[in-house]
Amino acid sequence: ASASGAALQLQAPPHVAGAVGSGHGGQGGNAGVPEGPSVMELALLNTGEVASAQALAGTAVAALCWPDADGANKATNVCRYLVALGQRLPALEPFVCGPLLQLGLMCLTMVHTATIQAEVLQLLRALLAAYLPRPQGGAIARQTLTTTLKLSPDVIASFESQFSTVGAEKDKRNLIKTLVAQAGGEEVRKLLASVSKIQPANAVGNAAAAAAAGQRHQAGKPRPPPDTADADAAVSNWIFNAIFT
């Protein structure tokens, strides 16, 4: 389903009015959702306020790529909430696994947000761990990874296989960082390594990943980091569709 289509089909699950975990933590992916429905949740469940709520969410997500580390860091808190909330509101999955995931990946490639790399990696780990196993969210997340990082489906499939088998959160974060470094090329690899040591770029993927890396090397041109203009376009298009279609 498209993001705009999903926006028109929001319905409250039977347990929406109940407690879903406190802001001090909890079990599973809902640990970031405060007790009881929030203003954002109430707006999303009120069909008359869907456009406003989703425009607000889009603005918060776009802040991940603002040239302001403090503002981007605050945006990660909102994004974590949306990741948790989307697990109870399936209509949010296209947004969480689309624009939110895309901008999170792009945030890792930007110099001005290098100081919040750990927070962004934790956000992406929580998102992928929660949504890759889900039918709708998993399909959208795979497509977002493929198109944003410009890697082959085989490389993404290999990454997902490793991501699902490693148990430690740190290992999952390292896999994400390595995947982004592999996609971004030397400049992105240096940026990620400047904050904390990362695995070699060829650590993700099997023979398919090695073949893809070899093709890039033969081309003689390092892969440029993702264009930040794509981030603005992704959110702008999604908000436009949610409001006007």
Reply yes or no on whether the pLDDT at 208 is more than 70: no
Q: Which residue has the higher pLDDT, 90 or 32?
A: 90
Tell me the pLDDT tens digit for each residue of 88-144: 888 889 999 999 999 999 999 988 888 899 999 999 999 999 999 999 999 999 999
| pLDDT (tens digit per residue) in 187-197 | 888 888 876 55
Averaged pLDDT of the chain: 72
Least confident interval from 10-19, 52-61, 235-244: 10-19
The residue extents of the domains of the chain are 1-114+227-245
DSSP the chain: --HHHHHTT----TTTTS---BTTB-SGGGGGSPSS--HHHHHHHSGGGHHHHHHHHHHHHHGGGSS-HHHHHHHHHHHHHHHHHHTT-GGGHHHIIIIIHHHHHHHTT-GGGGGGHHHHHHHHHHHHHHHTTSHHHHHHHHHHHHHHHT--HHHHHHHHHHHHH---HHHHHHHHHHHHHHHH-HHHHHHHHHHS----GGGS-SHHHHHHHHHHHHHT-PPPPPPHHHHHHHHHHHHHHHHH-
pTM for the whole thing? Answer: 0.66
